[in-house]
Amino acid sequence: MIHSSDEFFHPVSGMEVPRFAGIPTFMRLPNLGLDHQRINEVEMGIIGVPWDAGTTNRPGPRHGPRQLRDYSTMIRRINPATGIDPFALVNCADLGDADINPADLLDSMQRIEDFYNKVIALGIAPMSAGGDHLISLPVLRALAKDHPIGMIHFDAHTDLYDSYFDGYKYTHGTPFRRAIEEGLLDPERVVQIGIRGTMYDGEDIEWGRSQGVTIIPIEEYFARGAKDVMAAARNIVGDGDTYCSFDIDFIDPAYAPGTGTPEIGGPTSFQAQELIRLMDGINLVGADLVEVSPPFDPSGGTGWLGVSIMFEIMCVLARSISAKWKGPQVANS
Amino acid sequence: MIHSSDEFFHPVSGMEVPRFAGIPTFMRLPNLGLDHQRINEVEMGIIGVPWDAGTTNRPGPRHGPRQLRDYSTMIRRINPATGIDPFALVNCADLGDADINPADLLDSMQRIEDFYNKVIALGIAPMSAGGDHLISLPVLRALAKDHPIGMIHFDAHTDLYDSYFDGYKYTHGTPFRRAIEEGLLDPERVVQIGIRGTMYDGEDIEWGRSQGVTIIPIEEYFARGAKDVMAAARNIVGDGDTYCSFDIDFIDPAYAPGTGTPEIGGPTSFQAQELIRLMDGINLVGADLVEVSPPFDPSGGTGWLGVSIMFEIMCVLARSISAKWKGPQVANS
Amino acid sequence: MIHSSDEFFHPVSGMEVPRFAGIPTFMRLPNLGLDHQRINEVEMGIIGVPWDAGTTNRPGPRHGPRQLRDYSTMIRRINPATGIDPFALVNCADLGDADINPADLLDSMQRIEDFYNKVIALGIAPMSAGGDHLISLPVLRALAKDHPIGMIHFDAHTDLYDSYFDGYKYTHGTPFRRAIEEGLLDPERVVQIGIRGTMYDGEDIEWGRSQGVTIIPIEEYFARGAKDVMAAARNIVGDGDTYCSFDIDFIDPAYAPGTGTPEIGGPTSFQAQELIRLMDGINLVGADLVEVSPPFDPSGGTGWLGVSIMFEIMCVLARSISAKWKGPQVANS
Amino acid sequence: MIHSSDEFFHPVSGMEVPRFAGIPTFMRLPNLGLDHQRINEVEMGIIGVPWDAGTTNRPGPRHGPRQLRDYSTMIRRINPATGIDPFALVNCADLGDADINPADLLDSMQRIEDFYNKVIALGIAPMSAGGDHLISLPVLRALAKDHPIGMIHFDAHTDLYDSYFDGYKYTHGTPFRRAIEEGLLDPERVVQIGIRGTMYDGEDIEWGRSQGVTIIPIEEYFARGAKDVMAAARNIVGDGDTYCSFDIDFIDPAYAPGTGTPEIGGPTSFQAQELIRLMDGINLVGADLVEVSPPFDPSGGTGWLGVSIMFEIMCVLARSISAKWKGPQVANS
Amino acid sequence: MIHSSDEFFHPVSGMEVPRFAGIPTFMRLPNLGLDHQRINEVEMGIIGVPWDAGTTNRPGPRHGPRQLRDYSTMIRRINPATGIDPFALVNCADLGDADINPADLLDSMQRIEDFYNKVIALGIAPMSAGGDHLISLPVLRALAKDHPIGMIHFDAHTDLYDSYFDGYKYTHGTPFRRAIEEGLLDPERVVQIGIRGTMYDGEDIEWGRSQGVTIIPIEEYFARGAKDVMAAARNIVGDGDTYCSFDIDFIDPAYAPGTGTPEIGGPTSFQAQELIRLMDGINLVGADLVEVSPPFDPSGGTGWLGVSIMFEIMCVLARSISAKWKGPQVANS
Amino acid sequence: MIHSSDEFFHPVSGMEVPRFAGIPTFMRLPNLGLDHQRINEVEMGIIGVPWDAGTTNRPGPRHGPRQLRDYSTMIRRINPATGIDPFALVNCADLGDADINPADLLDSMQRIEDFYNKVIALGIAPMSAGGDHLISLPVLRALAKDHPIGMIHFDAHTDLYDSYFDGYKYTHGTPFRRAIEEGLLDPERVVQIGIRGTMYDGEDIEWGRSQGVTIIPIEEYFARGAKDVMAAARNIVGDGDTYCSFDIDFIDPAYAPGTGTPEIGGPTSFQAQELIRLMDGINLVGADLVEVSPPFDPSGGTGWLGVSIMFEIMCVLARSISAKWKGPQVANS
């Protein structure tokens, strides 16, 4: 029997309520607290993590979730290229923001992990909106508590650094080194795409590769093309549980100026869409979109780009969720 | 017996949840639809009216309510000058946005009036956030349905024009001419403060005065001072039901650049606060804050100013509401 | 005998008067009212239509013509790729702005149509600068009064929606559905290029295709390439009278942030130029460039892009006009 | 017999043509070249001088005239405080921009002087819009060719410096030293109001005072008040020909951020209006408003302030012009 | 014998090197590391503290020192109102930035304290540029190590809160509570001026007053005037060692939009200057200017305001330093 | 023996001092005046030339060097694509800004030439940061004093115009015509890549080609691809001394909005990186990056792009310098 999502969990249409009207929730979905009476019906939960204590240079991603919610009211419901309507496939909701504490980094990481533990316990697949990239670590601590998982990681940076400022281990440049060390990620099932930017000494790349991480620099991506790279990526992550982490600085700063550590020479927004669409069929168990920093983007375009990318990932995630009880499907393109 | 507001209707504290976190409702109050189970307990309802079809020059106030909600998360709960805590006095809630239709001006006016008719029927005093100044007309049609009311009007413009563009009667320059013609406002109980800016021909002022409206140009305000002007204003509106309409362009554009029709030579934000605080004790039945236009304010300061002014007005309105069943009170409670 | 344009109708050179000096007219051409003594000599008229009442979300295109005139003073006279000098081919002038009424949508549409009726009666080919996309409808009502014409349409959206907000028929999302229904466009001779963005339900695309409209989504454009797509487009419109409508949101928002309904994943500015240059030889009878919205573009780059695109279209239009009495020509004159 | 201005020279009303529509001329007046057939009827000419080669720090005033024209379409026709309608008193026109050469400072000064010589020869009183403050020097060379005149000068700086960068005599910090040296200004009839900001060594002030210039620092202005200061100023300039030069940096940078050399601690826009209104009756023969620099003002408010100040000065200038053949008048307040 | 400052420690003049040229140090002074050979000659050291880990809402002050250095190149050397030339009175230098660690709040506080311990040991009076207000705590730990000192504190907020987010003691809202608890400040010799803004519960004010702190809300300041308030302040701090802490949010957000926690209803920049000038003669031993947040100020005006205020404070501080070996002096006004 | 750079000349790491901290020098290198005791050890000197007197339209590049220094603190030390660490290859330093005079164009050119004569005499290869493109002329006068050199020139414009405004020879549109006329450049060894934008009359291109300059318009670049074009360029410049001049407007304005004369249809930042990397091995003797204009870039992205391009060029230049005493090397990729 075909599972059919409940209308309660559908977005409000811009043909009925203008896009600038109403209190903005992610994708104009209902906002459900974790104690809401219908929380058990939710299959995909969009969660804000307004936190940037791991940022080593230009702060601002703490303001990301609010801007992303604002711009997300301009998203409609069907993917024009793949025909996927994620809201028709699974019950989606905005679960609000994870609890954080701007005055204490470690306490915040614990609060975030606690929040996600509850989300995971409810059987909800999380689609997170950062926040800086350090948020991925507590999310993975909740999501990969039982066994290491794979990851497709779009980023200009490896985020595999060891430490900063004389030994500090937790910054937005270190989450995946920690995650591998903690056994949350299986490095043989991790692939990083788009790496570029001037380097300190390249130790992060050496370490990652020594662990088995596949690192695809931007030049290699441009040379091989999306299809070849994503075929390799699918091979690397295989059928097992996989996370998708998307740092907005993967995309060129002409498209995404609102981020803390831009690197020139990146792909276009279309190339990003193309890559994500090629993830369709991967066994995604969660995803995040991070490093959108509104104070550094006077036009707001990075927020718009961010929610557009979130929508693309949600299409893949919805297909992955729905496949689990329905078997593989063909998108209704 | 002293009425005590219910904690359910109190704002979330920035000492508990950081101000940048969470889905933004007005003043971090609960968001209740008009069919919410506790709607009957609400005494003051904050309502967005995201509509600017009446704007004759630079559009944008349709985006006002969303920005005002965003910035309102920086408001705390007690007025430092008067000691009033409006949330302790009356049950406050965010009632969401009135229904509007950007494709049809008259239909929108009807939709807004319909929404306010329901609000009024529920016994809720409306604190509205525009939108352009034409929103005041449908609000008054609901609020003053039974009898004309008085008004204290802060603005750079009279909004008493007859028509534009060969006879068009409904623009943001005409609402109060229509309201007087329709018997919604008692012109003898209307006072306009802050009028300035170059004039077409002065017919609006002449007409207003001929109807009995008291018009206090900015020069007169500066010469007489806040106390004298507000003593006069209190005298004019008397004890009857009174509306307060506050156009953000009342304040000088150095303070409020984000508006469509700025006029130089206006008062400071402190002078605006001072004037509103001097309204304490007036029998307010509703109020609005209009013409905040985010696209024309790159720093967002006008949004912050707007919610700060809304808070000041809410203190007066809360006192007026609570006085009705408790009798007059002393502030600094 | 070769027609030679009159120097009176040539742009002022930036080598003589600096580009920041002078009152800005389109392309620094003379500004002629429709009652000017030399109006009969004009062959191509650039017309502003400062109107955005059809905008369903973020307003602002009403300010487009003024910004476009401002930036157009940076345009020189010869196309570097094709060698076309449109000002040498035909007499060009800035005809000012069409008359509009911000307080009434239907009245404005009538005023615009009236203005264009006069322009058409004078034998002037119109190059219009919007305004939102609804302006194309009254322009087509004047231009295609006698028989349906073809159209090459660059846009992220089909603008073939039926209605919004419970049945409203006139918005910037509906002009070409109306134009087909009214017999102004021959759907078999209409091609839309660049369509993308999340969808409500796809009904607009289905309806368009059922009428015979050729819709080329962005993915198809990227896969086939400019030459193949434009060869097809030329085939579709054939030799008959053809209109070109260019929505600035066709181009990716990294290049064109200043627009109301951006969609990521679009082409570059070079790709847009390439497409327009491949229109050379088509029987153009008029064109428009719409949806430039200055309030949403803090750097002004969208205005600059807009006038650069207008210049490219003007080259094609000038060749089409001049071909009518001179026969086909080789460029690089 | 009362002189009555000709309707041809009246501004277009915003009640007929929306303020965002049309090609922007100063105050929506007709644009007449110096060879226009009706140029002899013009009594007050508004002239742009888009030139900033004298700027020693942050450039940009070359873009001032275009922005000022743009914002000037928001000016209506009657002064609300004084009742003066300058367009009813004298025939006003936009005379376009003076000819300048961005590649050569001295050549530009000659071109500007030549332009103003023609304007003066036509009997037109010039109201100039800069440009940086060096423009006042060539204007005065034309205007005070026959005899030194007086000046009321609103500014944060004296502009009485001797030279910069090892002896360079022509910068925006030196025009009035040159003007006094050249016998264009009678220093005994010059008053400077609002002087403030950190000083190099104070030599400019010492020199000015030694010549007889009256310099009123901002502290003195705040202490004495507008009426007292302006009574003194009127006394200083007396009945003779007088120029008014208004540097927008006179007003506090919170009101006028868009300028190259802001100084904190300045007056408000209302205080500026008040001072100008107190000039009524002075024998003004010309005026300028300078140093509006659009690139340093993201919100555009300085342009709006600039045209509002220009309008105030135009009221005084129009009264001065009209008084010459009509005798003193009472404003129609 | 009169002490005379050394030319080596004088600022570069804008009459010799244009203000936009050169690597920006504070006030164009020489940049000396603490190990510089001439460090012992420095009497006043300007120090950046680029740190905002204490910020509970909008981050950004970490970028303050760099912007303040940039704008400080526009400062000249003599105070126009008082005639004080601080660079002539004492040897001034830019000591660079204190060492900080964005990944650890407590470690950063220790690093800052260590830096200031060295500065104090060198006998240098520190003029600091934040950073957020938490920087004042480690500065005071170094400066008031031996005995509690007095403080004149300009701010919209008391910064006397106890804790945030369930007990966190170190934020930019708590430094002076900690400083009093630690015996760094003598509360009987502390005066806070300009307090305003909505309140959580007023506990901070109650606690401060219970300790003996004098708190002057903005209304009281406006009512009493600068002279009366500052006479009281001088009385409160007396002759003992006194610190001056200036939060840029003391000034109204129209003047200072670039700050994290703006509060409307504040004083003007002139009023701020007036207050600081009235501190002349107080025994200042150090000062700071904090909370300038460049990401929230698109025009940069807050940076300009910040350095202008720093200059005013430096005049008072230079007089205090020089008085110690020269006895009281009269400014050369 | 392998030359090894001295640690004194290495950049400060962002892992030790956060990128937002400290006084910004180019690439966080030591700042050495030309009289510094270690100046003789410098092999590559980065020099700011804050001057834009040659700008014919929108000014601002005078503010370029300061912004470029600011953003350059985000550059790390190793090129990720080529493995080159320029700081390891040669001793690099920030030599400060060349002396300029904003009040006199010719004097400034002489001052710049004088500064570079000293730099060249010290044997330092200059990497300059403009300023507008006219700065290249005095730099070449110093660098090519003895014999004409070759040039690889990336730009949207040829800068080969003869004169502006009735014969003025020195603007940012004429430097290379002058340089060829003066025998500083060997036109047969000059290649210009990326030329595009509307044309006045094409005389600049005709003249250049008649002299032997190779001009590669953008269409040709897109058609041939980077490898083919750069192979041709290497052939043209051969083994002789070669200069690289990079105008930021070479790159599309979506990537580089902050420039005075943008032209749409340009390459991406990645394409620019690719081209520069293909210069490796060319005998570079100096280079410049010009036309970054901060006032026209609200997000600052152009500054970031500019320093990223500077770093790429520095890698090529460092290899060229080091090859002279070490022989050709393989990068440590």
pLDDT digits (tens, 9 = 90+) for C145-167: 999 999 999 999 999 999 998 88
Q: For E26, name the nearest residue in chain F, comparing CA atoms only.
A: F23
Q: Which chain B residue has its CA at the smallest distance from A130's CA?
A: B21
Give the pLDDT confidence score for residue C326 in this predicted structure.
61
Q: Indicate the residue of D161, D254, D298 with minimum beta-carbon distance to E255.
A: D254
Band of pLDDT at residue F147, cut at 50, 70 and 90: very high
Instruction: Please tell me the predicted confidence (pLDDT) of residue E331.
Output: 43
Widest CA span of chain E, in angstroms?
58
Nearest to E23 among F62, F96, F298 (CB): F96
| Cβ contact B298–C298 (<8 Å) | yes
Residue A170, both tokens: 């937790």
Provide the pLDDT for residue E205. 97
Query: Is D300 within 8 Å of chain C by CB?
Result: no
Q: What is the DSSP string of F288-300?
A: EEE---GGG-TT-
pLDDT band at residue C325 under the 50/70/90 scheme: low
Structural contact between residues A125 and A45, judged by C-beta atoms closer than 8 angstroms: yes
pLDDT of residue D60 exceeding 70, the answer is yes
Residue B253 has its nearest CB partner, among D20, D79, D301, at D301
pLDDT tens-digit series, residues D12-41 = 999 999 999 999 999 999 999 999 999 999
Residues of B in contact with C58 (CB under 8 A): 63, 295
SS3 B207: helix
User: Which tens digit of pLDDT belongs to each residue from A276-331?
Assistant: 999 999 999 999 999 999 999 988 999 999 999 999 999 999 999 999 866 544 44
pLDDT at E291: 98
Q: What DSSP designation does C164 have?
A: B
Tokens read off for E197: 């803004």
Nearest residue to D201 via CA among E27, E80, E12, F102: E80
Which of B201, B222, B254 comes nearest D269 by C-beta?
Answer: B254
Q: How far apart are CA D81 and CA D277, in angstroms?
A: 8
From start to end of E134-276, where are the E strands?
149-154, 185-195, 214-217, 242-247
Average pLDDT, rounded, for chain E: 95
pLDDT at F38 over 70: yes
> Residues 6 or more apart from F61 whose CB is under 8 A from it?
F50, F51, F52, F55, F130, F131, F132, F260, F290, F291, F292, F293
Q: Which amino acid is at F179?
A: A
Each residue of A269-283: b (16+ CB within 10 Å) or e? bbbbbbbbbbbbebb
Residue E90, φ and ψ in degrees, nearest 5? -140, 160
pLDDT at F20 over 80: yes
Give chain F's radius of gyration (CA, Å): 18
User: For residue B2, is it within any domain?
Assistant: no
Write the residue in B16, B74, B80 that is nearest to E196 by C-beta: B80
Residue B54 gets which letter from DSSP?
A: T
Give the gap in angstroms from C-alpha A19 to the nearest C-alpha of chain C: 6
Q: In this predicted structure, what is the pLDDT of residue E311?
A: 98
pLDDT band at E135 (very low <50, low <70, confident <90, very high): very high
pLDDT given at position B325? 64
pLDDT at site A1: 38
Q: Do E59 and A54 touch (CB under 8 A)?
A: no
pLDDT, tens digit, for every residue of A74-113? 999 999 999 999 999 999 999 999 999 998 999 999 999 9
Q: Report d(CA C15, CA C295) in Å as an integer.
A: 31
Put simply, the chain D residues between 226 and 265 with a CB less than 8 A from any chain B CB are 252, 254-255
CA nearest to A33, candidates F50, B91, B30, D304:
B30
Spell out a b/e string for A230-244, using b for 16 or more CB atoms within 10 Å of the CB, else e.
beebbebbeeebbbb
Angle subtended by helix axes A64-72 and B64-72, to nearest 10: 160
**Taking 60 as the threshold, does the pLDDT of residue E332 lie above it?**
no
Contact check, Cβ <8 Å, C104/B165 = yes
Query: Which residues are CB-neighbours of A230 under 8 A, at least 6 positions away?
Result: A275, A278, A279
CB-neighbour burial class of residue C13 (10 A; exposed 0-12, middle 13-18, buried 19+): middle
List of chain A residues whose C-beta atoms are within 8 Å of the C-beta of residue B14: none
**What is the number of CB-based contacts under 8 A between chain C and chain F?**
92
Report the alpha-carbon distance of residue F176 to residue F184 in Å, rounded. Answer: 9
D122 and chain B in contact, CB less than 8 A: no
Please give the pLDDT value at position D166: 85
pLDDT-based confidence at residue D3 (cuts at 50, 70, 90): low
Convert A44-62 to b/e letters by CB count within 10 Å (16 or more is b).
bbbbbbbbbbbbbbbbbbb
Beta bridge mates, F193: F154, F216
Selected residue of C17, C70, C299, C310 to mutate for chain F interface (largest F Cβ count, 10 A): C299
3-class DSSP state of F265: coil
Picking from D17, D63, D298, the nearest residue to C20 by CB comes out as D63
Q: What is the pLDDT of residues D166-201, one digit of tens each?
A: 889 999 999 999 999 999 999 999 999 999 999 999
A156 token code pair: 């200009």
Q: Per the CB < 8 Å rule, is A57 touching F18?
A: yes
3-state secondary structure E28-61: HCCECCCCCCCHHHCCEEEEEECCCCCCCCCCCH
pLDDT of residue A329: 47
Q: Within 13 Å of residue D255, how many CA atoms lie on the same side as its CB? A: 29
How many Å apart are CA F139 and CA F120, to the nearest integer?
Answer: 10
pLDDT at E333: 39
Which of the residues D101, D137, D293 would you substitute to probe the F interface, choosing the one with the greatest number of F C-beta atoms within 10 Å?
D101
Confidence band, pLDDT 50/70/90 cuts, at residue F1: very low
Q: According to the model, what pLDDT value does residue F5 have?
A: 85
Q: How far apart are CA C92 and CA B4, in angstroms?
A: 73
**Best residue in C19, C74, C75 for a mutation probing chain F (most F CBs within 10 Å):** C74
Helix or strand (DSSP H, E) at C128: strand C125-130
- ∠ CA F182-F188-F189, nearest 5°, is 90
CA dist., res. C175 & res. C101, Å (int): 18
pLDDT reported for residue A326? 61
Residues C21-47, mean pLDDT to the nearest whole number: 97
Angstroms from E331 CA to nearest CA on chain A:
43
**Residues from chain C contacting residue D101 (CB–CB below 8 Å):** 18
Put simply, whether the predicted model's pTM sits higher than 0.95 gets the answer yes
* Tens place of pLDDT per residue across chain B (333 aa): 345 689 999 999 999 999 999 999 999 999 999 999 999 999 999 999 999 999 999 999 999 999 999 999 999 999 999 999 999 999 999 999 999 999 899 999 999 999 999 999 999 999 999 999 999 999 999 999 999 999 999 999 999 999 998 889 999 999 999 999 999 999 999 999 999 999 999 999 999 999 999 999 999 999 999 999 999 999 999 999 999 999 999 999 999 999 999 999 999 999 999 999 999 999 999 999 999 999 999 889 999 999 999 999 999 999 999 998 665 444 443
User: pLDDT by residue (tens digit) across E316-328?
Assistant: 999 999 998 665 4
Backbone angles phi, psi at B125, to 5 degrees: -80, 125
* Strand order through the sheet with D242-247: D92-97, D44-49, D125-130, D284-290, D242-247, D149-154, D185-195, D214-217
For the segment A219-225, the average pLDDT, to the nearest whole number, is: 98
| A154 pLDDT more than 80 | yes
Q: What is the largest CA-CA distance in chain A?
A: 58
CA distance F291 to chain D (A): 15
The predicted pLDDT at position A166 comes to 85
Total domain count for chain B? Answer: 1
The pLDDT score that the predictor gives to residue C39 is: 97
Q: What is the CATH number of the domain that holds D301?
A: 3.40.800.10
Cα-trace Rg, chain E: 18
* Residue pair B67/B256 in contact by the 8 Å Cβ criterion: no
E34 touches E97 (CB < 8 A): no
pLDDT of residue E326: 61
In degrees rounded to 5, what are phi and psi of residue E175? -60, -35
Whole-number pLDDT of residue D328: 47
In this structure, which amino acid lies at residue A320?
Answer: S
| pLDDT computed for residue F331 by the predictor | 44
What pLDDT score does F190 carry? 98
Residue of F nearest to A266 (CA): F270
Using CA coordinates, name the residue in chain D closest to E307.
D264
| Closest residue of chain A to B20, computed from CA coordinates | A63
Q: What's the pLDDT band for F330 if we cut at 50, 70, 90?
A: very low
The alpha carbon of residue D125 and the mean position of all alpha carbons in its chain are separated, in whole angstroms, by 12
CB contact under 8 A, F166 and D62: no
B77 and E CB contact within 8 Å: yes
| C-beta atoms of A22 and B102 within 8 A | no
Mapped onto helix, strand or coil, the DSSP state of residue A277 is helix
β-pairing, F242-247 vs F284-290, is parallel
Q: Establish if F111 touches chain E: CB-CB under 8 angstroms.
A: no
Kindly identify which residue of chain F lies nearest to residue D171, measuring between CA atoms.
F103
pLDDT at F289 over 90: yes
Average per-residue pLDDT for chain C: 95
Of residues D3 and A135, the one with the higher pLDDT is A135
Q: Quick check: D66 contacting F, CB < 8 Å?
A: no
Q: Do E295 and A165 touch (CB under 8 A)?
A: no
pLDDT of residue E45: 98
pLDDT in tens, D85-100: 999 999 999 999 999 9
Q: Convert E220-253 to b/e letters by CB count within 10 Å (16 or more is b).
A: ebbeeebeebbeebbebbeeebbbbbbbbbbbbb
Whether the CB of D301 is below 8 Å from some CB of chain E: the reply is no
Inform me whether the C-beta atom of residue B50 falls under 8 Å from chain A C-beta atoms: yes
Is pLDDT larger for residue B226 or for residue C15? B226
| Per-residue pLDDT band at C324 (split at 50, 70, 90) | confident
CB-based contacts of C133, cutoff 8 Å, min separation 6: C54, C155, C159, C172, C173, C175, C245, C247, C290, C291
Minimal CA–CA distance to F132: which of F157, F168, F163? F157
Specify if D247 maps to a domain.
yes
Task: Identify the pLDDT of residue C327.
Answer: 53
Q: Tell me what ipTM this predicted complex has.
A: 0.95
B71 occurs within a structural domain: yes
- For chain D, the distance separating the N- and C-terminal CA atoms, rounded to the nearest angstrom, is 21
Of B19, B80, B309, the CB nearest to E57: B19
Q: Does B331 reside within a domain?
A: no
Q: Which residue of A has its CA nearest to B49?
A: A21
Residues in chain A with CB shorter than 8 Å from the CB of E296 are: 295
Interface probe, candidates D66, D104, D172, chain F, greatest F C-beta count within 10 A: D104
Name the residue range of residue C89's domain: 7-326
Interface mutation target, options E104, E111, E168, chain A, most CBs of A under 10 Å: E104
Cβ atoms of E304 and E297 closer than 8 Å? no
Answer whether D17's CB lies under 8 Å from C96's CB: no
* A31 close to B (CB below 8 A): yes
pLDDT at D7: 92
Buried b (16+ CB within 10 A) or exposed e, B136-149: bbbbbbbbbeeebb
Q: Which of E165, E169, E170, E297 best probes binding to A when mutated, by most A CB atoms within 10 angstroms?
A: E165
Share of chain D above pLDDT 90, in %: 93
Q: What is the mean pLDDT of residues C65-90?
A: 97
- Whether D329 shows a pLDDT value over 50: the answer reads no
D166: in domain: yes
Instruction: Identify the CA nearest to F197 among candidates F223, F177, F227, F219.
Output: F219
- Is residue A51 assigned to a domain? yes
Cis-peptide into E131, omega within 30 deg: yes
